[in-house]
Amino acid sequence: MRTPEMWIDQGAGWTNVTAHDGETCALAAFGIEWGTDDPLEAPDPSVMTATLVDRTGRLAANPRTLAGMRVMIRLPHALTWGDIGAAAGQWQAQRYEWRSAHRRLPRKDPADPFTGAGLTLFRGRLNTGGTITRKGDTWRISLKATSDLALLKRVTTQGPTDPKQPGYHWTGGRTAVMREITRRLAALGLPLKTQPDTPPAGDTAPYGTDSYPQLLTVITDTIGVDTDLLMYRLYESFDDDRDGEHTIIVAVNGVARIGISADGRIEHVRDSSLLTVDQATLQIPEPVTQVKINGRKATWDDDKKTVSYNDHEANINAAGTLPANLTANEKSASLDTNSILADESSGHWTGTPADTDAMKANAIAWIANRTLRAAPAGISASSAFIDPDTDPTIFKPEPATWAFTANLFSPLISDDGRPALNGPWLAIGGTIEYDGRRLTSTPTFTPLRTPGDPPAWQDIPDAPFTWQQVKATWAEFEQITR
């Protein structure tokens, strides 16, 4: 693995302050907190803390220039021959082995952070504060930065209006609101790259003109809950190119399939022998027996001759579908949304309300999945064992689907024959840390649902693999869905 790099932009373009020979600083360590630890909560902007070793004192002597500075953490991939410029010189002059060449050879353009492929782990702006300390003949600078998603908390400009809906903004229903959200994200340099395959159904209520909600609040209210009780969340994401920063919408309680390849590899499974699970635990979830959806309803104001929008609460109870011992104490999961759950306008409102009957069936399935599955915690992946070049999704600060086989918890089989870590899991947040030698990713997981019942052996005709190729127990094989 190549060493991570910190790039800063003081207004004149990106500058690498942590390259190895003759540069101002070295990157001693960093940590990135990303996403959320609860699928009921929208992800916060990522926070990056870093320690720089300033050899010359140039940055340490000018701390005021650091506040508000653009900063980026990138992990360059191993260079290919095409990435290497003439500055490398002749092979006869090199004094290192082939296996270390990718760490030693210079780029074609050392001033361009996007020469060659790589992983962008963070982009944002440095906060005020931090510390400067002396250690030996160098200076240690501790910095903190917030990702570009924070821009969405600072934008409170009101949304589009409609003469037919006086007193309101962000009008036009969910489709029109999403169109304006997409435009504003692009203008902020965070274009919306992917949206749900099935857009959230039902319309949303506008905001009163006396309100100035943050753009991030508008997005969460608009995409947060749909008729299938899918909870969509906005995340930052990065591609390898210079225009790679964008946003994606992910269903954090959706449905995922787990397939198996012709050579016996189970989809989404990470090699458990390469993961650090010694300190891992299973978190027994607090039982949830009902979902409370705090939404809106459309009513008709006969005095003003206009549609108005009021708070509306829908309660979906799943007590009858859970074991009796889990329903002794009622516990609600609350979801806030701008979705219109009920129409009491006597036909004056022309939008489409969310279907609470469909919500009920899906809410019950989600409650059971959340309540009956213990979630893994403390499972980490290290670049000492997993090469980020070959499995980059593990080290990206964005959602990814995981599945588990042949691990510490494999001997734990429930009464219904399912292993403790059965089924797909979604990484919804976590930490990415660098200690000067290696990267370590520790995700936070939430369970995903699978479509229907697992297949029987006869449902997988003419499987070309042998049992010796499948790194799974009989019980873990049950989680395959296709």
The two three-digit tokens of residue 170, written as one number: 């962000």
Q: pTM of the entire structure? A: 0.87
Asked whether residue 105 carries a pLDDT value surpassing 60, the answer given is no
Q: Report pLDDT for 43.
A: 93
Instruction: In whole angstroms, give the CA distance from residue 291 to residue 309.
Output: 22
* Residues 215-261: tens digit of each pLDDT: 999 999 998 876 666 788 999 998 765 556 789 988 888 888 887 77
Q: Are 99 and 51 in contact (CB under 8 A)?
A: no
Mean pLDDT of 127-150: 89
Does 74 or 169 have the greater pLDDT score?
169
3 state SS for the chain: CCCCEEEEECCCCEEECCCCCCCCEEEEEEEEEEECCCCCCCCEEEEEEEEEEECCCCCCCCHHHCCCCEEEEEEECCCCHHHECHHHCCHHHCCCCHHHHHHHCCECCCCCCCCCCEEEEEEEEECCCCEEEEECCEEEEEEEEEEHHHHHHHCCCCCCCCCCCCCEECCCHHHHHHHHHHHHHHHCCCCEEECCCCCCCCCECCEECCCCCCHHHHHHHHHCCCCCCCCEEEEEEECCCCCCEEEEEEECCCECCCCECCCCCECCECCHHHEECCCCEEECCCCCCEEEEEEEEEEEECCCCEEEEEEEEEEEECHHHCCHHHCCCCCEEEEEEEEEEEEECCCCCCCCCCCHHHHHHHHHHHHHHHHHCCEEECCEEECCCCCCCCCHHHHCCCCEEEECCCCCCCCCECCCCCECCCCCEEEEEEEEEECCCCEEEEEEEEECECCCCCCCHHHCCCCCCCHHHCCCCHHHHCCCCC
Mean pLDDT of 403-419: 80
* Residues 328-383: tens digit of each pLDDT: 777 888 888 898 989 999 999 988 887 777 777 778 888 888 888 888 888 888 88
Q: Report pLDDT for 85.
A: 57
The two three-digit tokens of residue 298, written as one number: 């459309």
Q: Report pLDDT for 285.
A: 86
Split at pLDDT 50, 70, 90, the class of 91 is low
Asked whether residue 196 carries a pLDDT value surpassing 70, the answer given is no
pLDDT over 90, % of the chain? 29
Asked whether residue 135 carries a pLDDT value surpassing 50, the answer given is yes
The whole-chain average pLDDT of the chain stands at 82
Asked whether residue 173 carries a pLDDT value surpassing 70, the answer given is yes
The least confident of 108-117, 331-340, 382-391, 406-415 is: 108-117
The least confident of 36-45, 53-62, 316-325 is: 316-325
Q: Is 215 exposed, middle or buried (0-12, 13-18, 19+ CB in 10 A)?
A: buried
Split at pLDDT 50, 70, 90, the class of 108 is very low
Q: Report pLDDT for 86.
A: 61
Asked whether residue 83 carries a pLDDT value surpassing 70, the answer given is no
Does 386 or 327 have the greater pLDDT score?
386
Least Cα distance to 144 among 216, 231, 214, 67 occurs for 67
* Residues 287-310: tens digit of each pLDDT: 888 889 899 999 998 888 889 999
Q: Are 49 and 142 in contact (CB under 8 A)?
A: yes
Least Cα distance to 185 among 233, 225, 116, 236 occurs for 236
Instruction: In whole angstroms, give the CA distance from residue 392 to residue 398.
Output: 11
Q: Which residue has the tokens 């991570």?
A: 4
